[in-house]
């Protein structure tokens, strides 16, 4: 699981984690099948439920070391540190991701690229025609720009954003993804 979100959303008081687990179960993925929770960064809206999944399910939690202190303040414990390079998952070792350290939104922000399917899981680095905030503690506009520039060089068919913000949150098609990168470079990161 990647970025499970809040246990309960603060504003609407919705049971975020229960809703997510229910939707997963409807897709045939049971709670017991969650053995690893990967966090793109340690902001509560992405990682709060990971604390509960680790406590109740025994799921391991993976996060970049530069965001560990923020996660610990939320009561979390990191089992594996995400580092640049290949991450191989599954009993048959068929799931292979490239991990990219992409600071800017947070010091330890990471993005995952599933080469086989050309899927980029961008966390809060990139949205549709927007980027993650840099005004939170540890944010850095220069680092964000460099991280986006670096990821724009990948061959991406599906860009999964951390939030939809008026868009479905999945940017589909190589040309549409590249147009989004071009828009960011021209209008936001100039």
| Residue that is last in its domain, among 82, 114, 147 | 82
Pair (68, 156) in one structural domain:
no
Res. 11: pLDDT tops 90: no
Cβ atoms of residues 135 and 141 within 8 Å: no
> For 21-125, where are the E strands, in sequence order?
36-38, 60-63, 80-81, 85-89, 95-101, 110-114, 119-121
Residues 78 and 88 in one domain: no
Same domain, 129 and 48: no
pLDDT tens column, 105-129 = 999 999 999 999 999 999 999 999 9
Tell me how many domains the chain contains: 2
pLDDT above 90 (res 168): yes
The answer to whether residues 95 and 133 belong to one domain is yes
Q: Which of 82, 103, 118 is the last residue of a domain?
A: 82
pLDDT 10s digits, 88-108:
998 888 899 999 999 999 999
- Are 65 and 99 members of one domain? no
The answer to whether the CB of 4 falls within 8 A of the CB of 29 is: no
Same domain, yes or no: 74 and 122: no
Same domain, 17 and 93: no
pTM: 0.95
Range of the domain at 177: 84-190
Q: What CATH number is associated with residue 34?
A: 3.60.15.10
Which of 82, 109, 139 is a domain's end point? 82
Provide mean pLDDT across the span 17-35.
Answer: 93
């Amino acid at each position: 699981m990647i970025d499970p979100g809040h246990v309960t959303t603060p504003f609407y008081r919705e049971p975020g984690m229960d809703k997510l687990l229910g939707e997963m179960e409807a897709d045939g993925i049971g709670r017991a099948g969650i053995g690893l929770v990967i966090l793109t960064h340690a902001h509560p809206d992405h990682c709060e439920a990971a604390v509960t999944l680790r406590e109740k399910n025994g799921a391991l939690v993976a996060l970049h070391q530069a965001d560990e202190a923020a996660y610990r303040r939320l009561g979390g414990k990191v089992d594996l540190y995400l580092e640049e390079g290949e991450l191989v998952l599954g009993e048959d070792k068929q799931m292979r991701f490239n991990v990219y350290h992409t600071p800017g939104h947070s010091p330890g922000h990471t993005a995952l690229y599933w080469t086989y399917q050309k899927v980029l899981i961008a966390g809060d680095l990139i949205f549709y025609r927007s980027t993650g905030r840099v005004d939170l503690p540890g944010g850095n506009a220069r680092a964000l720009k460099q991280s986006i520039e670096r990821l724009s060089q990948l061959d991406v068919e599906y860009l999964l954003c951390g939030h939809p913000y008026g868009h479905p949150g999945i940017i589909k098609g190589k040309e549409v993804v590249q147009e989004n990168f071009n828009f960011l470079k021209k209008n936001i990161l100039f």
